[in-house]
Structure 1
Amino acid sequence: MAPKLQSNSQTGSFQPAGKRAGQSMAVFVVKGDPMKALAGFKLPAGAEVAVVSSRPETTRKISETLGERLKSAAQVVTSGSSAGKKAVINQAAFEPDARSLALVEGVRIAQKDLEEAGGAYDLDQVRTLMQGVSRQAVDKRVNDGSLLAVPGPSNRRAYPTLQFNRDGSIVSGLKEVRQALPTNNAWVILNFLARPDARLGSRRPIDVLKTGDISLVVEAARRYGEQGA
């Protein structure tokens, strides 16, 4: 049951405005002078007061009356004005464009290539394969292009397994192939090595490198990306 409030001609009258379904809450509309009606009235715990007006001059006067000491705790809303409306969010502004989506899709494709090619080793595994060399020695091979590393989980380097021979040695010719390719993007380089190439009789470049025919793969790398190639 809504609480009973006394009405007074000087302070204004309180009228129930209804309840929300399923909630033990009552809303009252103050007619007359709300400042006089609420003068000296102490709100019980959990109660709130909202001031709504369709007249901007009214809300301005209320804001001035509240004073600086209450402004931080008060919000004055003018119904029918922009202040009382929800902010309009342009969802389209947050959507990536076609070029940005293509970059994401390219990484997904490259990660799929990596998975299908046998995954990748971490740094410790590579050091083991390379007979316990230092991390600096591994980094040097990556920097000079003779060892391929791609960004892995937590942005740590991962080393595709397809570039290693069965005895753990690194496939010869990687540096020359990388120098011939028109890109330094590690994912694009992986894509070239892992996918069948018509210029190589539909063989994968990495498999041709393992046969020792480096020059043939280097030529295919130079023509990589050419239309109709």
Structure 2
Amino acid sequence: MAGSEVRLHRARQARVADRVAAKVADVLKADATFESGSVALSASIAGAAAAAIVDLPVSVRRELSKRQGELARRIRGLVETFSDAPAGGKIALEIPKAVEPSGGEGLGKIVTAEEGQRLLGELAVARKLEDWAGPVAGASELQRDFGIARSTLNRWQHAGEVIALLKGTRKHVYPIEQFIDGRPARGIAMVAALVSNQRVAWLWLSQPNPMLGGRRPIDLLKQDRADEVIDAAQTYFAAQ
């Protein structure tokens, strides 16, 4: 990973750990088994474990699920190795005396804007809008098939509450998946506010997301789980 990607990855994991730890702490406070000191520690461990798991590939998570007993024993063993002894629980690391310097590959050859556009043109592949955006409909189709009035659609579009994709030079179409019960799913406006480009916003909403366990953000919005999606969107786009 590049330095910026590493920082984003760590920040994302820290957010997951904090959210999980806070929720676990709230639950444990009501359990008389846990003393005040053990609540915070237990919640912190749970948060760290969740952060380590959230970005794992599906195949790895499935394997861990099959070996939950072994995983629990290892976690318990790790916790029990820590003690007040000077060397208790410490892991010996072999630290080299000298580190080989590396300048990296660098940025490569700098080209002009015109040359950059030409190179991008060679790599770009022409695709129909429906091929990547899924089923879309214009204002007439939405009014006919879903009963959404043009005036209402225009109001949503001006308020940033609906994703509108330009098809051709003037016509806007709307991904059908964003609608539930005749209106845009709650949370779309908040995601769109973070992303200046509607196409990028819909691509992000409609693609499986590792931060959300491989689920598509639009599916979670339609399940009224907007808070999870907004947290993920802020991680992806807030710094841009």
| Higher Rg of the two aligned structures | 1
| Structure 1 or 2: more strand by fraction | 1
TM-score of the aligned structures, taking structure 2 as reference length: 0.45
TM-score of the aligned structures, taking structure 1 as reference length: 0.47
